[in-house]
C-alpha cells in the first residue's frame, strides 16, 4: 500500500491539510500526519487537529511521498525545522515524490528540492524565485515534485497526488466520487 507523510505545524491551512489526508485515504493510500511542535496542533483558523505522530518519530524509508500543506506560520516552521528539512532532502535523494501547496513550496525551496517549474500562493514566489513560477496553473507536476496554489486548489492537488501514487483509474474513480 502506498504511504504518504504529511508534516504539519501550528498555523497550517486546514482546508489543505484535511484535503490531502481525506482524498488520499479515499484512494486507499495510508496517510500519516506528523506534528512538528506537538501532536495536537491549531490551524490558521483556530481548528485543532490531532496528529498521528510527531515528526521525530518518522523515517523517509517508510513513505512514498511527503506532502506539505501551507498556511502561516506553518510554512515558515516547515522551512526552518531541521527534521522536515532533512526529510525533504532524503526524499529528493531517494527519488521519492514531494508535494507542497500554498506557501509550503517555500519549505521545498529552503531544502533545495523545488523543481525548476512550480506554483504557489500568489506573491509567495517573491520569497522563492520568479524564474519557473507558473502563475497560470493550479497544479504543477515536474520531476517528482507537485506544487499547487492554495485552499481553492487543494482538491486538485490531492487528486494529483492520488494520480502519482495510484494511477489514472483510481484517480478518475476518486475524482468522480468527489464530483470534481
Q: Which cell goes with 130? A: 520568479
Q: Compute the distance between CA of residue 177 and CA of residue 8 in angstroms, rounded to an integer.
A: 27
Q: Catalytic amino acids?
A: 102
Are 37 and 43 contacting, i.e. CB atoms less than 8 angstroms apart?
Answer: no
For residues 1 and 30, the answer to whether their CB atoms sit within 8 Å is yes
For residue 166, the SS3 value is helix
Provide the 10 A C-beta neighbour count for residue 89: 14
Integer Cα distance of 166 and 3 in angstroms: 11
With beta carbons less than 8 A apart as the criterion, state whether 76 and 106 touch.
Answer: yes
Closest CA to 23 of 140, 165, 161, 169: 161
Is 40 strand, coil or helix?
strand
Residue 19 and residue 71 in contact, taking contact as beta carbons nearer than 8 Å = no
Amino acid at each position: 500500500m502506498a504511504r504518504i507523510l504529511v508534516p504539519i505545524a501550528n498555523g497550517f491551512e486546514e482546508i489543505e491539510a484535511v484535503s490531502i489526508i481525506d482524498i488520499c485515504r479515499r484512494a486507499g493510500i495510508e496517510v500519516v500526519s506528523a506534528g512538528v511542535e506537538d501532536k495536537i496542533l491549531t490551524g490558521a483558523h483556530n481548528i485543532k487537529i490531532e496528529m498521528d505522530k510527531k515528526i521525530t518519530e518518522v523515517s523517509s524509508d517508510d513513505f512514498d511521498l511527503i506532502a506539505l500543506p501551507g498556511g502561516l506560520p506553518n510554512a515558515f516552521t516547515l522551512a526552518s525545522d531541521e527534521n522536515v528539512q532533512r526529510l525533504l532532502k532524503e526524499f529528493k535523494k531517494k527519488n521519492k515524490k514531494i508535494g507542497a501547496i500554498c506557501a509550503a513550496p517555500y519549505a521545498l525551496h529552503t531544502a533545495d528540492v523545488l523543481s525548476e517549474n512550480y506554483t504557489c500562493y500568489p506573491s509567495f514566489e517573491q520569497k522563492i524565485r520568479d524564474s519557473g513560477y507558473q502563475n497560470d496553473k493550479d497544479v504543477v507536476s515536474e520531476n517528482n515534485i507537485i506544487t499547487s496554489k492554495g485552499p481553492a486548489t487543494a482538491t486538485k492537488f490531492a487528486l494529483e497526488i492520488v494520480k502519482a501514487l495510484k494511477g489514472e483509474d483510481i484517480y478518475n474513480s476518486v475524482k468522480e466520487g468527489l464530483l470534481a
